[in-house]
Amino acid sequence: MASVELKSLRKSFGTHDIIKGVDLRIEHGEFVVFVGPSGCGKSTLLRLIAGLESATSGTLLIGEKPVNDLPPKDRGIAMVFQSYALFPHLTVYENVAFGLNLAGAPKAEVDQKVRQAAQILKMEHLLARKPKELSGGQRQRVAIGRAIVRNPEVFLFDEPLSNLDAALRVNTRAEIAKLHRDLGATMIYVTHDQVEAMTLADRIVVLEAGVVRQYGRPLELYHLPQNQFVAGFIGSPKMNFLPVRVADVDAQGLTVESVDLGGAHHIPVQPGSARIGDPMALGIRPEHIAPGAATASASSMAISGAVGLVERLGHETFVELTTASGQAVTALVGGNTLVEIGQAMSLRFAPDDCHLFAADGQACPRTRVPEIARLHLPLAA
Ligand SMILES: Nc1ncnc2c1ncn2[C@@H]1O[C@H](COP(=O)(O)OP(=O)(O)OP(=O)(O)O)[C@@H](O)[C@H]1O
Ligand SMILES: [Mg+2]
How much distance in Å is there from the Cα of 158 to the middle of ligand 2? Answer: 7
Report the nearest-CA residue for atom 9 of ligand 1: 44
What is the Å distance from ligand 2's center to 93 Cα? 29
User: Please, which residues have CB within 8 angstroms of residue 34's CB and are 6 or more apart in sequence?
Assistant: 42, 45, 46, 188, 189, 190, 191, 204, 205, 207
Per the DSSP assignment, residues forming a β-bridge with 157 are 80, 189
The half-sphere exposure of 151 on its side-chain side, counting CA atoms within 13 A, is: 8
Instruction: Specify the pLDDT at position 289.
Output: 96
Strands (E), 183-277: 186-190, 203-208, 211-216, 240-250, 253-258, 263-267
* 44 Cα–ligand 1 center, Å: 6
DSSP 142-163: HHHHHHHTT--SEEEEESTTTT
Q: From the CA atom positions of the chain, what is the Rg in Å? A: 25
pLDDT in the model for residue 175? 85
Choice from 20, 40, 45 to test ligand 1 binding pocket (greatest atom count within 8 A of CB): 40
Rounded Cα distance between 344 and 250, Å, is 35
Give the position, in ligand 1's atom list, of the atom nearest the Cα of 16. 5
pLDDT at 263: 87
CA 232/CA 155 separation, integer angstroms: 29
* Smallest-distance ligand from the CA of 207: 1
Beta bridge partner(s), residue 307: 321
pLDDT at 120: 84
- How far apart CA 99 and CA 150 sit, in angstroms, is 8
Other Cβ atoms less than 10 A from the Cβ of 44: the count is: 18
- All domains of the chain, ordered by start, with CATH? 4-229 (3.40.50.300), 236-285+351-381 (2.40.50.100), 302-348 (2.40.50.100)
Q: Which of 12, 16, 193 to mutate for ligand 1's pocket (most ligand atoms within 8 Å of CB)?
A: 16
Ligand whose nearest atom lies closest to the CA of 22:
1
> Which of these, 257, 262, 234, 264, lies nearest to 363 by C-alpha position?
234
- Which among 212, 200, 195 is positioned nearest to 175, based on CA atoms? 200
| Atom 7 in ligand 1: residue holding the nearest Cα | 13
**Nearest Cα residue to atom 25 of ligand 1:** 38
As a whole number of angstroms, the distance between CA 289 and CA 302 comes to 9
What is the value of pTM for the model shown? 0.93
> Which residue ranges of the chain lie beneath pLDDT 50?
379-381
What pLDDT score was predicted for residue 133? 93
Atom of ligand 1 nearest to the CA of 37: 25
Residue whose CA is at the smallest distance from ligand 1 atom 22? 43
Q: What does the alpha-carbon distance between residue 20 and residue 17 come to, in Å, rounded to a whole number?
A: 6
Nearest CA to ligand 1 atom 5: 13
CA 8/CA 317 separation, integer angstroms: 45
Nearest-CA residue for ligand 1 atom 1 is: 13
Ligand in nearest proximity to the CA of 158: 2
d(CA 208, CA 37) in angstroms, rounded, equals 7
Calpha distance 263→62 (Å, rounded): 55
What confidence score (pLDDT) does residue 1 get? 61
pLDDT of residue 381: 41
Kindly report, residue by residue over 242-269, the tens digit of the pLDDT: 999 999 999 999 999 999 998 899 999 9
For a ligand 1 pocket test, name from 43, 45, 212 the mutation site with the most ligand atoms within 8 angstroms of its C-beta: 43
Ligand 1 atom nearest to 36, measured from its CA: 21
**Who lines ligand 1 at CB under 6 A?**
13, 18, 36, 38-44
Render pLDDT for 58-107 as a digit per residue (tens, 0 to 9). 999 999 999 999 999 899 999 988 777 899 999 999 999 998 998 899 99
